[in-house]
Amino acid sequence: MSRVALVTGGSRGIGRAIAVELARTGHRVAINYARRPDAAEATAGLVTEAGGTAITIQADVGDDDDVAAMVETVITELGPVEVLVNNAGITRDGLLLRMSSADWDDVMSTNLRSLYLCSKSVLRAMVRARWGRIISIGSVSGIAGNPGQTNYAATKAGVIGFTKSLAKEVGSRGITVNAVAPGFVETELTAELGEETAAAAVNSIALGRLGRPAEVASLVGYLASDAAAYITGQAIVVDGGLAL
C-alpha cells in the first residue's frame, strides 16, 4: 500500500531525511519548501533514487492561502494526505530584552501557526478515512528551555500541548498524533550555532556527538507506520542523552 505523505520543510536537513525515509517505506511524498526550490528538487531526486514518487510544493506554512493551495495540490497530484509531518521550523534567537516583535511573530508563524493550519487542512480526509498520522517536530528546547530561545522554546512547548490535545480529539477516529523532540542535529540550523557552542553542546550529550537527520527520520518513519498504531499523544525525545 502506497500512502501519501506531506513533509513541511522537506527540502533540507531533518525534513529531507524524513522525505527519503518515508519514500523508502513506500510512501508517495509531497515535499514542501519556502524559499529554496533547488534544495527541494535535490530532495525529490533522492526520493526518486530511493524508489519513491515525489512532488515539490512552495508554500509558507504560516500562511492560510498558501497552506490551502498546498493541500489542494497534494490531493490533485497524489491523493488525500494520510501522513502529515509538521517539520518546517526556524530560529530567530536573541535574549528577550533585545528580541524584536518580528522575530517573535516569525517564529510563532512558522513553528506553531503552521501546525494549526496544516493539521486542520488534512484532518477532515483523515477522519473520513478513519486512518491518519500527524507527526510534529518539537525540540528539547521546548521541554528544558534554552536561554536566547524564548520564542523558539515557546513554540516547541506549544507543539507538545497541541499534540496531546489533538491526540485526544481524534483518537477515536484511528488517527494518531505524536511529536518528536530532537536535541542537536547536524543541519544548517545548527551550523549557525558556531563551533564554540557546538563543542559545548557535545560536552553535555551522553553519546558525545550531535545527531544525524536520519536518526530522527527513522523514528518518524516508525510513527507513520501501522506498527505504531497504539502510540499517540507522545513527545518522544531523540537527543543522544542531552536532556537527561
Give the binding site for ligand NAP (CB under 6 A).
8-9, 11-15, 32-36, 39, 60-62, 87-90, 110, 137, 139, 182, 184-185, 187-190
Q: Which of 27, 63, 60, 34 is nearest to 223 (CA)?
A: 27
| CB 184 to ligand NAP: min, Å | 5
Which three-class secondary structure state does DSSP give residue 10? coil
Q: Which of 155, 160, 154 is nearest to 179 (CA)?
A: 160
- Total residue count of the chain as it appears in this document: 244
| CB 123 to ligand NAP: min, Å | 19
Catalytic residue set:
152
* Closer by beta carbon to ligand NAP, 34 or else 177: 34
| CB 11 to ligand NAP: min, Å | 4
Cβ atoms of 184 and 207 closer than 8 Å: no
Q: Which of 116, 121, 162, 120 is nearest to 138 (CA)?
A: 162
* Closer by beta carbon to ligand NAP, 133 or else 184: 184
CA dihedral 176, 177, 183, 186 (to 10 degrees): 80
* Closer by beta carbon to ligand NAP, 93 or else 127: 93
